[in-house]
Each structure stands twice: as structure tokens, then as C-alpha cells.
């Protein structure tokens, strides 16, 4: 595993603040039943934030025809939806929700070429609410496979997420399972697939980025 390159500052800040608090505790607070539990809690926070921003090594099970999960998490919805921004047609939408304990690195769902990439500022409603898909801060990316099929996905900020990182740019050749970005704190992925896609997951299922195949197109 490695730390995401866009999170060095965040993790360093957590370590610096935690170290400063521990120093102050040992310097000015002499009640050990307060000092040691708080120190242990801060060590745990440092460990959690390091693990949270890690990019795990995973098997790459996706391809140009097998769609792998963009993120770790739980499948919230599988439904028919109209994608109005780029595809402008009816699709099958699969929503994956990431909570605080999931790895938040994101990965390309299919192998192909990026045909669209756009960032949208917005609100920070809780990510599992339906209106979050349109009103929250998000990025949109479309990939066209060698077979000419389009896969479109959104990285959505949640109530606590304050930064979305996406490496997409027009014309970029991408490989399923390689990292495409990261979302800091609770958030969601909406992925839009062709109507004739064979869906291989169900609502409520836990999925792992790169490894879980969610559809065949």
C-alpha cells in the first residue's frame, strides 16, 4: 500500500496537531488517567487517517467489457436513470456509498479512453440522499471502451467530504483497476451503464474497488 500523493499535507497536519496536543498534555496536565487515554486516542486517529488515505494494492479484475467497482463500499441503488450531462440518454445507474471506514481511493472501472471530464462545485448534503447526485460538489468522467461502449461515473462529495481529486483528462488512456482519484471522507460514486448491461451486484451488497465486477457490458 502507498499513501495517495494528494493527501500528504492532510496526513502531516493530523500528525503535527496530534503531536502538539500530546506535548501539551504531558507538559501541563499531570492527571495520568486523562493524559494516557487521550494520547492513545490521538495515536489511533493518526493510524486511522493514514489507513484512510492509503491506496491499496488490488487484483485488477475489470477490462473493456467487465466493469469493476470504482470504490469500496455498499451498493445503495440500482435503478434506471437519465444521464443529462454528457451521455444524454437513459442508463442503468449503480450508486456505491463509502463510509468513514472504507478506503477512499477510487479506481477506473473499465479500460478505455477518457472522453469527458468535468468538475462541479456544489453543496455538501449527506452522500446517501438522492439530491446529493445533482446538488453536491462532484466530478464527472466518461470513458469509451475499445468496443465503443460508454461508461460514465460521478465522484460525489458527502456531508463531511471537502475535497475530490480526479486524474481524468480528455484523451487519457486508462486501465481498469488503476487509481483515478480519491475523495476525502464520507462520499459516493454513481456509475451510469448502458441499458443492456448485465448487472452482477445487488442493492445492499458490499463491494471492493478493482476486484468486484459490478456489470458486464
Q: Is 89 helix (H, G, I), strand (E, B) or coil?
A: strand
Q: Would you call 187 a catalytic residue per the annotation?
A: yes
Reduced DSSP (H G I as helix, E B as strand, rest coil) percent helix, strand, coil of the chain, to 5: 25, 40, 40
Sheet containing 164-166: order of strands: 105-107, 179-183, 164-166
Query: What torsion, rounded to 10 degrees, do the Cα atoms 63, 64, 70, 73 define?
Result: -60
Which of 51, 52, 50, 55 lies closest to 13 in space, CA to CA?
50
Q: Select which of 63, 95, 133, 187 is catalytic.
A: 187
Return all residues near 147 (Cβ < 8 A) that are at least 6 apart. Answer: 64, 65, 217
Of 189, 105, 112, whose CA–CA distance to 154 is shortest? 189
What is the CB neighbour count within 10 angstroms for residue 15? 15
DSSP 6: G
* Residue 185 grid cell: 471522507
Note the Cα 99 to chain centre separation in Å. Answer: 10
Catalytically active residues are 187
Amino acid at each position: 500500500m502507498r499513501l495517495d500523493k494528494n493527501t500528504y499535507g492532510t496526513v502531516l497536519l493530523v500528525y503535527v496537531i496530534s503531536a502538539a496536543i500530546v506535548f501539551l498534555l504531558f507538559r501541563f496536565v499531570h492527571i495520568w488517567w486523562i493524559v494516557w487515554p487521550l494520547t492513545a486516542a490521538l495515536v489511533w486517529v493518526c493510524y486511522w487517517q493514514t489507513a484512510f488515505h492509503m491506496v491499496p494494492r488490488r487484483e485488477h479484475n475489470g477490462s473493456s467489457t467487465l466493469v469493476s467497482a470504482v470504490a469500496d463500499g455498499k451498493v445503495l441503488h440500482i435503478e434506471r436513470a437519465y444521464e443529462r450531462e454528457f451521455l444524454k440518454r437513459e442508463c442503468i445507474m449503480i450508486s456505491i456509498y463509502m463510509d468513514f471506514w472504507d478506503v477512499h481511493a477510487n479506481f477506473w472501472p473499465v479500460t478505455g479512453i477518457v472522453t469527458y471530464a468535468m468538475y462541479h462545485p456544489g453543496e455538501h448534503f449527506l452522500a446517501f440522499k438522492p439530491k446529493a447526485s445533482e446538488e453536491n460538489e462532484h466530478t464527472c468522467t466518461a470513458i469509451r471502451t475499445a468496443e465503443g461502449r460508454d461508461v460514465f461515473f460521478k465522484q460525489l462529495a458527502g456531508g463531511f467530504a471537502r475535497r475530490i481529486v480526479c486524474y481524468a483528462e480528455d484523451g487519457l488512456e486508462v486501465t481498469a483497476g488503476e487509481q483515478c482519484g480519491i475523495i476525502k471522507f464520507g462520499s459516493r460514486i454513481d456509475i451510469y451503464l448502458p441499458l443492456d448491461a448485465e448487472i452482477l451486484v445487488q442493492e445492499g451488497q458490499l463491494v471492493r474497488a478493482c476486484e468486484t465486477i459490478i456489470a458486464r457490458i
